[in-house]
Structure 1
Amino acid sequence: MLDDTGTQLYTPQVVEQKKPNVKHEFQTIEEAFQFYNAYARECGFSARMSTSKIKKGTNELIRKQFVCFKEGETNEHYQKKEKHTVQRSGERNRGLVRVGCKAKMTVVKSQTGPNWIVSQFVEEDNHALATPSKIHLLRSHRVVSAAKRGLSQQLSKANIPMCQQIRVLEIEAGGPQNIGCVEKDIRNYGQREEKNPTFYFKYELDEESRLVRCFWADPFARRSYHFFGDVLVFDTTYNTNKYDMIFAPLVGVNHHGQTVIFGCALLSGEKTESFIWLFNQLLDAMPRDAPQVIITDQDPAMTKAIAQVLPSTCHRYCIWHILNKFAEKINTMVYQDNYHWFKNIICNSETIEEFETSWAELLKNSNLGDNTWLRQMYEIYNK
C-alpha cells in the first residue's frame, strides 16, 4: 500500500491477509470490530463504530457498521469555530477530522444462528494513511497493556518522572512506535492508582541515610510470577535518574508471548552484594520457588550472585547481548563478511555436533581462530 507520494507503507501481502471478506462470520460485534480494527492498523487508519439498525418490535440489533475515523464530513460551522479558537489561543490546528472517507465494513445478524456476517466491505480511502511509526498515535490503536500499566505504576511509586517512564517503555518495546500508546494514556492510568496492602517493597539505606537499593512488586506482578515465573529475564541496561541508579526490571513471557513484569529494582551499582540482596528479595516476595531458568547479560557480578542465591536455576546469557558484541570484538571487514554466518550457526544449529563442526569450519575460513573473545565465548559454551 502506498501513501500519496508513492512511498510504500505496508506490505500488500500482509494487508491482503487481514482484509475482511463478504460472508466472513464472527461470534460477537466486539470480535467483528477487533478484526476490522486490526485490518485498519495494517492499512494505516483508525476505525470506529458507526450506524446501527434495530429490528422493529423487539429492539434487537441486526446490523452494525464500522468505518474509518475520517468517514463523514466536518460541519462548516465547526470548522470556522475551530479556526477562530486556534487563532485566539495559538494552539496547533489539528486539520479536518472528517473528510468523507468511504472505507467501511458492515455486519448483519445471521438469521440461522447467533453469529454476525460481513454483508459489505469497502476498502476505498481518500486521505493520507499513517506510516507504521505513527500508527500508535491513532485513537483506535492506542492501547495501554496490563504489563505497561503495571510497570508505570511501579515506576511512579519509585518517584520516576513520567518522561523517563516513557523512555523505559520505548527501550523495552524497541522504539516509540511499538509502545502502543502515548504519554497522555500512561498519565491517565497513573491517576487511577490506589494503595494496595499486598504491594511488596523493600529498600536499604547507607550510613548517611541515602537510598542504595530498593525492590518492589505489585499484586499483578506477583500473580504473573506464580503462573509464568519458570523463566526470568534480568537486565540492568537502564540508568533512569539523576542519581545514576540502575533500573533493573525482572520480566518474563506469558502464554500469549507478551512481556510480563515480575518486579523492579533500583540499584546504586552493579555489585555482587546488590544482586544478592535483589535475588533474595525476589524469593521473599514471590508465591513460588526460584525460576527454573534465568537469562542475563554477561555481567560477572550478576553471575556470582546467581550462583550463590539461585544455585538450582539454569543460568544462560542473552543471545541479543552476545550478537551485539561481534561488531566491537571482531575486525570490521571480517565482521561484515562473516557475521551472518556466525548468527546462523548460533541461532539455527539443531545439534551439538552440527554447531561444533560449523563453528570450527567458520573460524578456520575466517582466520579468527586466535580471536581471544571468541575463544572465551566457546569456553563458556563448553562449561
Structure 2
Amino acid sequence: MDANEDLSPRVMDANEDLSPRVGMEFDTLKDAWEFWLKFGRQMGFDARKHYINKNMNDEKITSKGFVCAKQGIRGPEKENMIRTRNQDDTRTNCPVKLYVSLVREIGKFKVIDFIEEHNHTLHLSETIYMMRSQRKISKVHARLIELASSSRIKPKATHKLMSREACGRTNLGFVELDQYNYLRTKQQKNLIYGQAICLLGYFQEQLTTNPSFQYAVQLDNVK
C-alpha cells in the first residue's frame, strides 16, 4: 500500500486558466479530457466523452468531442423506464460541447468548436461530488473496501468510516453506489477466474489419463 497516494478528488489549481476558447491547444487528448473535467467541476455540470474520429490509413485519432452529460435525448423506452423509477430525465439535449482536432504539423489537438450555455440547472458546489464524471475510487480506497468486505464489515459502515476520515463525503471522491458496484464487479471477476482455473485443472487431468486428449487456450488481450 502506497501511503503517499492521493486520496482526494480532483483539485483545481487556482491559477489555472479554465476558460475554454476556440484555438486553444492541448498536447494530448488526455490533457483535453482532464481540462474538460476540471471545467465541468468548476461550472457544475457532469462531463462526458462524445465522438471520436480516426484516420482510415494509420488509425490515428484526428478529432474528438467532449460534451455535457445531458447532451442528446433519450429514446421512448428509456424515458418510460425513468418515469417508472420516478427519476429525473438525465438528458435534455444540452448543446454544451468542446471539440478538438489534431494539427498534424505540431502534433497537438486544437479546439475547433466550443459552446458554453447550458439548457438545464447546474449543480451547486455541495452536490458536485455526486456527478459521475467527478467520482473515482483510488487504489488505496479500493484496497480498504476489499479488506473491509473480507472482514465482513457492511459496505454502508465502510463508506461512513471512510467519509469521516476524508472529513466528509464530499471529499471522499466516490459515493456509496460506486462502492457497491466495485465489490460486485470484483466478485464477478473472481468467480470467472475460479471457473477458469477449475476448467484448466480438468483439462490437465484428462491429459494424464488420455494421451490423445488435446485442448487449446486463448488468452484475452490485457490493456
TM-score between the two structures when normalised by the length of structure 1: 0.42
Given the alignment of the two structures, is residue 105 of structure 1 paired with residue 110 of structure 2, yes or no?
no
Q: How much does 1:48 deviate?
A: 0.9
Unaligned runs of 5+ in 1: 1-12, 195-383
**Alpha carbons 2:82, 2:88 under 8 Å: kept:** no
**Alpha carbons 1:49, 1:66 under 8 Å: kept:** yes
- CA-to-partner distance for each residue in 1:208-235, whole Å, 9 max, x for gaps? xxxxxxxxxxxxxxxxxxxxxxxxxxxx
Unaligned runs of 5+ in 2: 1-12, 191-223
**Alpha carbons 1:46, 1:69 under 8 Å: kept:** yes
Distance 1:121 1:16 in 2: 19
Given the alignment of the two structures, is residue 129 of structure 1 paired with residue 146 of structure 2, yes or no?
no
Query: Structure 1 counterpart of 2:107, which letter?
Result: P
Question: 1:47 maps to which residue?
Answer: 47
Query: Structure 2 counterpart of 1:30, which letter?
Result: K
Question: 2:21 maps to which residue?
Answer: 21
Given the alignment of the two structures, is residue 120 of structure 1 paired with residue 113 of structure 2, yes or no?
yes
Given the alignment of the two structures, is residue 149 of structure 1 paired with residue 155 of structure 2, yes or no?
no
Query: Structure 2 counterpart of 1:45, which letter?
Result: F
Task: Choose the corresponding residue for 2:167, options 163, 170, 174.
Answer: 174
**Alpha carbons 1:15, 1:43 under 8 Å: kept:** no
Distance 2:132 2:113 in 1: 24
Change (3 A) 1:43 1:50: same
Q: How much does 1:76 deviate?
A: 4.3
Structure number with higher relative contact order (C-alpha < 8 Å, ≥ 6 residues apart): 2
Query: Structure 2 counterpart of 1:151, which letter?
Result: L
**Alpha carbons 1:132, 1:177 under 8 Å: kept:** no
Q: How much does 1:32 deviate?
A: 1.1
Segments of 4+ moved more than 4 angstroms: 13-16, 56-59
Question: 2:203 maps to which residue?
Answer: none
Question: 1:94 maps to which residue?
Answer: 87
- CA-to-partner distance for each residue in 1:233-266, whole Å, 9 max, x for gaps? xxxxxxxxxxxxxxxxxxxxxxxxxxxxxxxxxx
Q: What are the within-5 Å matches in structure 2 for residues 191-270 of structure 1?
A: 191=184, 192=186
Question: 1:38 maps to which residue?
Answer: 38
TM-score between the two structures when normalised by the length of structure 2: 0.69
Question: 1:71 maps to which residue?
Answer: 71
Change (3 A) 1:94 1:15: farther
**Alpha carbons 1:136, 1:178 under 8 Å: kept:** yes
Change (3 A) 1:141 1:15: farther
Aligned length in residues:
175
**Alpha carbons 1:15, 1:39 under 8 Å: kept:** no
Change (3 A) 1:75 1:156: closer
Change (3 A) 1:182 1:15: farther
Distance 1:59 1:113 in 2: 18
Change (3 A) 1:58 1:169: same
Change (3 A) 1:122 1:52: same
Distance 1:30 1:144 in 2: 19
Superposition CA RMSD, Å: 2.5
Distance 2:40 2:14 in 1: 12
**Alpha carbons 2:82, 2:89 under 8 Å: kept:** no
- CA-to-partner distance for each residue in 1:58-105, whole Å, 9 max, x for gaps? 54421111000011223345424543xx1xxxx3x2222211211111
Structure richer in strand, relative to its length: 1
